[in-house]
Amino acid sequence: MNVLLQLWRFWSTHQGELFAMLTRHVWLVLVATSLATAIGVPLGVLAAKRPRLGKSIVGLTNLVQTIPSLALFGFLLPLPFIGGVGARTALVALVLYGILPILQTTAAGIGSVDRSLVRAATAMGLTARQRLLLIEIPLALPSMLAGIRVSTVVSVGTATIAAAIGAGGLGEYIFRGLAMVDATVILAGAIPSAALALLADALLAWIGRRASDRHRRWFPSRRRAAVGAALVATLMLIVAAVVVYTQRGSSSTITIGSKNFTEQILLGELLAQTIERGTSLHVERKLNLGGTLICERALASGDIDAYVEYSGTALTAIFKEPVIRDRRAVLELIRQRYADSGRTLLEPLGFNNTFAILVRGDVARSLGLRTISDAVPHARGWRAGFGYEFLEREDGYKGLARAYGLTFREPPHVMDLSLSYRALAGQQVDLIAGDATAGAIAALDLHMLEDDKAFFPPYDAVPVIRSATLLAHPELRGALHGLAGRLDEATMRTLNEAVDIKRRDAAQVVREFLERR
Amino acid sequence: MSDAIVFDHVSFAYADGRVIVDDLDLAIPAGEPFALVGRSGAGKSTLLRLVNRLALPASGRVLVDGRDTREWEPIALRRRIGFVQQDVGLFPHMTVAENIGLLARIEHWPADRIRRRTDELLTLVGLSADLRDRWPDELSGGQQQRVGVARALMLDPPVLLMDEPFGALDPLTRLALRREFRHLQSTLRKTVIIVTHDMLEAFELGDRIGAIDEGRLVAVGGRRDFEASTHPFVRALMATLEPLRS
């Protein structure tokens, strides 16, 4: 009941966004299924008419079907013309998935038309084309519609994953919810998409029943065929226009990206709104992209113009350099590397999203703990809870214990990172390693111990922008410069808390932050 | 009268070498109903397929209206030849009227002309015009075959090929349809080749009868010729007509 209430509240506070995502989702599925039909039906006819060729066509589409959808999106990203971040890539993947069921049922439907009817049509003097259009396709129609139905329903599901590459749709809530470990937000996207799948299924089942009802006219009269052809042509034209439009991209539009967790979405909004306020440029948001490497590729290919990266992540994950602990040195090295590949590193925003060694606020106050070194003598009587990644990483627990001579009452408990905040507050453990900017730190009255031996590599948040974009729009530098050093850990934590804990809209939170200044 | 259909030293064999028609000569004058009898697999249906160019002879030639079927454009040839098959082959997604009028529609006849012709044909084959909007599976076997005949006659083709047209019907319906067709033929005067197993049907519908055995035409003639024949295969065929003895 509680969940339903939260869900309802979430939907009502995000009405506009929900509607936009739903529309986007339906649009993706509609266009993808239309294209898959336009390709799958002729291929299916071909497969039925030329069985040997048909076998290889079906084999090939089967192969495509076995590629996990996330992997397929990944393959498509770096490709020219069809790849890149956004709806285009998503449509290509959705169409590839959608073709197979339509192709198979079309081939099966045509293949199962009674041979004696085909013989009769031939003997009457129908040409091969007339046989196909007047006899075989109308008789195979119910079976073709069944394939289109399967394809549509699959498409509704796969389209949720398309959010990972910035295509939008209801998947955005699912990814956002996963990133925030918030079931309500996941459900906010999952429930409408499931409902959409059921609705599409029911609608197409109804159409299918009408089509197989012999008392209805599905016989394509010439007028109806003309209307159908015109509709298909219009649809293709719209699709072509959209593809051309997305490819061209307006030159005075700046596209801002972000990774798929709350802080990144806030930072994406921050860049976007700052540009909107400080310049006359139009900003397009491609927030919530899958992860570091997707953002990096998108930036390299020009699908996005800017996003916020963390210095340590750029160093190790993007440029594959060994860990460096000095903040300045890290920034200088990645600034150079970015410059070499046509990107410009701007000034750090001011906070370091590093690992945070946390204890309860009341404990810190009563024992007067400020740094990790302060806590070492007390830790012998404590229990610790760490995420799996922190336990395994060399720059995690092992190195930390060595650097500070840290030992606990018992071996650390492995727990989910997001759950460890509550475990600490609930006194199940006494020390955890979290994110320095987690909203939970303030909300649950946790205290972050200072890394006085500078053990953790720095993760300074820094905007990265394509150098070409900066050259074309020099006013961007001035506008974004205003952000340098303006966000410290505490401020970022408050913003995260507003979205993660208080469930406020990210764009609104950023707007208020910018207005306060 | 000129010959509408001529088989001139026609042979036909399957790709695996099985000879189906072997050096066959036959001329059918325009307006004659001709019956082909013989065992199943003797090559009767293949002869029909050679006429409307669903098959081409391996050697020899088939002439339709004096022209080699090789020279005919197949679609034009087939539209001049009505075809009625045992399993009828009515299209289940089209009404009776749509089935009958299909070819005329493809030939771009005006709608009212198609309608008039359809009604005329329904009457001709002994069906009520009320049936025009019914679906094939709502009809009895006999009604379906009548619609099949009407469909074959739509473009008023000079030639009609019938492959065991009444073979799947019960004996009473079969007899009725045979009588009606005999009557129909007396007014239409089409060139007809009708394939049948049934000697009675052959004598009733054909002016002449051809007996086919293993791809060869072993006898051609009227009822009297068959009764007088001493050919063992013809004797065997005639024996099927002997009345039951108790």
DSSP code per residue over A143-191: HHHHHHHHHHHHHHHHHHHGGGGT--STHHHHHHHHHHT-HHHHHHHHH
Q: Do B85 and A127 touch (CB under 8 A)?
A: no
Task: Decide if A119 and B106 are in contact by the 8 Å CB cutoff.
Answer: no
Structure tokens at B170: 């019960």
Distance CA B156, CA A380 (A): 106
d(CA B134, CA B111): 18
What does the pLDDT read at residue B45? 87
DSSP B176-190: HHHHHHHHHHHHH--
pTM of the model: 0.63
Angle at the Cα of A353 (from A349 to A357), degrees rounded to 5?
Answer: 145
Alpha carbon A482 to chain centroid, angstroms: 29
Residues of A contacting chain B (CB within 8 angstroms): 116-117, 119-127, 130, 134-135, 138-139, 214-215, 218-219
State how far Cα B129 lies from the chain centre.
25
Question: Is the alpha carbon torsion for A246, A248, A254, A260 positive or negative?
Answer: positive
How would you classify the pairing of strands B191-196 and A446-449? unpaired
Please answer yes or no on whether B78 and A125 come within 8 Å at the CB atom.
yes
Q: Tokens for B74? A: 């197949």
Would the CB atoms of B76 and A126 count as touching at under 8 Å? no
Q: Which of the four pLDDT bands, split at 50, 70 and 90, describes residue B246?
A: low
Q: Which amino acid is at A123?
A: A
Alpha-carbon distance of A203 to A217, in angstroms, equals 19
At B195 the three-state DSSP class reads strand
Query: B81: which chain A residues are within 8 Å (Cβ-Cβ)?
Result: 125
Q: B38, B212 in Cβ contact below 8 A?
A: yes
Give the pLDDT score at B244: 67
Classify residue A12 by burial, with Cβ atoms within 10 Å: 0-12, 13-18, 19+.
exposed
The whole-chain average pLDDT of chain B stands at: 90
What domains can you pick out in chain A, each with its CATH number?
A: 2-216 (1.10.3720.10), 253-352+461-516 (3.40.190.10), 355-449 (3.40.190.120)
Q: How far apart are CA B232 and CA A361, in angstroms?
A: 116
Which residue in the set A116, A126, A219 is minimally distant from B94, CB to CB? A219
- By residue count, chain A amounts to 517
Question: Which CA distances in Å does B100 have to A115, A120, B218?
Answer: 20, 13, 37
Rounded mean pLDDT for each run of 10 residues along chain A, 517 residues in total? 80 82 90 93 90 83 78 73 72 88 90 90 93 92 89 90 81 77 82 90 84 56 62 65 49 84 91 91 85 83 90 87 86 90 90 91 92 92 84 78 90 81 88 88 89 88 90 86 89 89 89 87
For B3-24, give the DSSP string.
EEEEEEEEEEE-TTS-EEEEEE
Q: Do the beta carbons of residue A274 and residue A347 sit within 8 Å?
A: no
Please tell me the distance from the alpha carbon of residue B49 to that of residue B46, in angstroms, as a whole number: 5
Alpha helices by DSSP H, listed for B170-244, are 171-188, 199-205, 223-228, 232-239
**Closest chain A CA to residue B107:** A126
Q: Which among B212, B210, B214 is positioned nearest to B225, based on CA atoms?
A: B210
Q: Which residue of A has its CA nearest to B161?
A: A123
- Buried/exposed B5-41: b ≥16 CB within 10 Å, e otherwise: bbbeebebbeeeeeebbeebebebeeebbbbbbbeee
pLDDT, tens digit (0-9, with 9 covering 90-100), for B24-61: 999 999 999 999 998 887 788 899 999 999 999 999 99
Q: List Cβ neighbours of B32 (8 Å cut-off, separation of 6 or more).
A: B4, B191, B192, B207, B208
Those residues of chain B whose CB sits closer than 8 Å to some CB in chain A are 52, 54, 74-79, 81, 83, 85, 87-89, 91-94, 98, 102-103, 106, 135, 137, 151-152
CB B83 to CB A123 under 8 A?
Answer: yes
Burial (CB < 10 A; 0-12, 13-18, 19+), residue A469, is: buried
User: Residue written as tokens 């005999």?
Assistant: B182
CA distance B228 to B224: 6
Buried-state track A181-193, b at ≥16 Cβ within 10 A, e below 16: ebebbbbbbbebb
pLDDT of residue A67: 79
B65 Ramachandran zone, left/alpha/beta (phi>0; psi -120 to 50): left
Instruction: Residue A214: list chain B partners with CB under 8 A.
Output: 92-93, 135, 137
Mean pLDDT over B161-178 rounds to: 87
- Residue A249: predicted pLDDT: 45
For B75, the closest of A119, A125, A139 (CB atoms) is A125
One-letter amino acid at B83 equals: F
CA A351 to each of CA A273, A328, A343: distance values in angstroms, whole numbers, following the listed order: 19, 14, 22
Compute the count of residue pairs across chains A and B with CB atoms less than 8 Å apart: 57
Q: Six-digit token pair at B11?
A: 């042979």
Helices and strands in chain B, H and E counts: 9, 10
Tell me the domain boundaries of chain B: 90-156
| Parallel/antiparallel/unpaired status of strands A461-466 and B67-68 | unpaired
* Angle of CA points A198, A201, A207, to nearest 5°: 145
B231 vs B229: CA distance, rounded Å: 6
A424 close to A430: Cβ distance less than 8 angstroms: yes
Continuous segment of H or E residues that includes residue A398:
none
The answer to whether B85 and B54 are in contact (CB under 8 A) is no
What's the N-to-C CA distance of chain A in angstroms? 40
Confidence of residue B78 (pLDDT cuts 50, 70, 90): very high
Average pLDDT of B103-116? 95
| Inter-chain CB proximity B89 and A138 less than 8 Å | no
Q: Which two tokens stand for residue A215?
A: 């008392």
pLDDT of residue A269: 94
Q: What is the pLDDT of residue A252?
A: 78
Q: Tell me the chain A residues in contact with residue B98 when contact means C-beta distances shorter than 8 Å.
A: 219
Cβ separation B92–A122 shorter than 8 A = no
ipTM score assigned to the predicted complex: 0.89
The pLDDT score that the predictor gives to residue A442 is: 83
Other CB atoms within 10 Å distance of the CB of residue A279: 18
pLDDT band with cut points at 50, 70 and 90 for residue B105 = very high
- In the predicted model, is pLDDT for residue B68 greater than 50? yes
Q: Do the beta carbons of residue B94 and residue A219 sit within 8 Å?
A: yes
pLDDT of residue A34: 93
Give the pLDDT of residue A181. Answer: 65
Q: Which residues contact A283 (CB under 8 A, 6 or more apart)?
A: A253, A254, A255, A256, A272, A275, A276
> How far apart (Å, rounded) are the C-alpha atoms in residues A289 and A260?
5
Binned at pLDDT 50, 70 and 90, residue B158 comes out as very high
Contact (Cβ atoms closer than 8 angstroms) between residue A6 and residue A183? no
CA distance to A417, A507, B68, B218, B233, per residue, from B215 (Å): 86, 87, 21, 9, 13
**Nearest residue of A to residue B157 by CA position?**
A124
Output the pLDDT for position A250. Answer: 47
